[in-house]
Structure formats: structure tokens, C-alpha cells
Amino acid sequence: MAVKREKPEKKEAPRLSHVDARGEARMVDVSSKPGTVREAVARAALILGSQGFEAVAQNLLAKGDVLTVAKIAGIQAAKRTASLIPLCHPIPLDHIEVLTTLDPERRAIEFEARARTRSSTGVEMEALTAVTVAGLTAYDMVKAVDRSAVLTEIRLVSKSGGRTGDYRRPGESA
């Protein structure tokens, strides 16, 4: 008796949400999705040389308090994300917080943004934009004494809510 082999089920390759069937860029239609509470946490780091790090740590820069100005810039940027990222939906932010931490061992300013909304789409881009602009602002303020600074490690740490559920980057606490 011959054994009939079943063909393995073909898995469809994941599709990019911002590309239509013709391969053209498009804004995703979220009008039929329900509004739910969604949160996202993103992080980044600005690695400095010893002179730049000491100037920030001791608040000695001529442009002012780097950490406070960077926080405010990050908050402003989160609120303007849809103006900066072409296919990003404008969403109401219920909360955006930007935290800064100095890490003397790495000579780094670490940035963390926490964004929250009740919307039909997520806030990952707002959190990522916040830490990126906070880092760029700090770079702008410190570049006079440290042009070697590097903005790095920009990443989504976690997100919750929405159709795809929760995500947490392995190895990171949210």
C-alpha cells in the first residue's frame, strides 16, 4: 500500500504593512480598528568622551542643562512624529515621558521614552522619535567640547496593546 505524503503547508512570507499589493508605499488604513490603550518604551544612548561626559555631569556647558533640554526636545518630538515620519498616523498622546540617566562607566547619557495613547494604532514611533531627538539635542549641546559623541543603541524595548499584542526585547527590562 502506497503512503500518500501531504505537502507541507506553505507559510506566507510576512508582508510589510506600509506596502500595497503593487509594492507601492501607502499609509495603513486603521479606521476599522478599535481604539485601545497602547504603550511603548524605547531607549537610546549617547556615548561621550571623558571631557564631554564630565561637562554634562557637572552641568558646565555654555548652552545650558543638557539633560533637561534633551528631555523637553524628546517630548516635543514625540508630539510631532507624524510630521517627521511620512506614513506615520497622527495620534493623540495621553502620556510621554523622557528619562535621562548618566552612566559613568560607559561615559554615556542613556535616554528612555515611555509613550501611551488610547488609539487604533501604536505609539512605537513616538517613543523612538523621542529618544532619538533627545539624543540629537544632547549631541548638539555637547559637540563644542566633544565631537566624538556617538548616538547609538536606538531600539524599541517594549510595546503593549493592539492586534499584535505585547512585545518585550529579550534581555531588557521595561
CB 145 within 8 A of CB 48: no
Angstrom CA distances, 30 to 27, 89, 92, 162, 166, stand at 9, 9, 14, 11, 19
Is 140 known to be catalytic? yes
Phi-psi region of 161 (alpha: psi -120 to 50; beta: other; left: phi over 0): left
Cα angle 151, 86, 137; round to 5:
25
pLDDT at 119: 85
List pLDDT tens digits, range 60-98: 998 999 999 999 999 999 999 999 988 888 999 999 999
List pLDDT tens digits, range 113-153: 999 999 878 899 999 999 999 999 999 999 999 999 999 99
Q: Which of 29, 94, 140, 146 is catalytic?
A: 140
C-alpha–C-alpha distance, residues 174 and 157, integer Å: 7
Domain ranges of the chain: 36-162
pTM over 0.75: yes
pLDDT at 8: 57
Q: What is the CATH number of domain 36-162?
A: 3.30.70.640
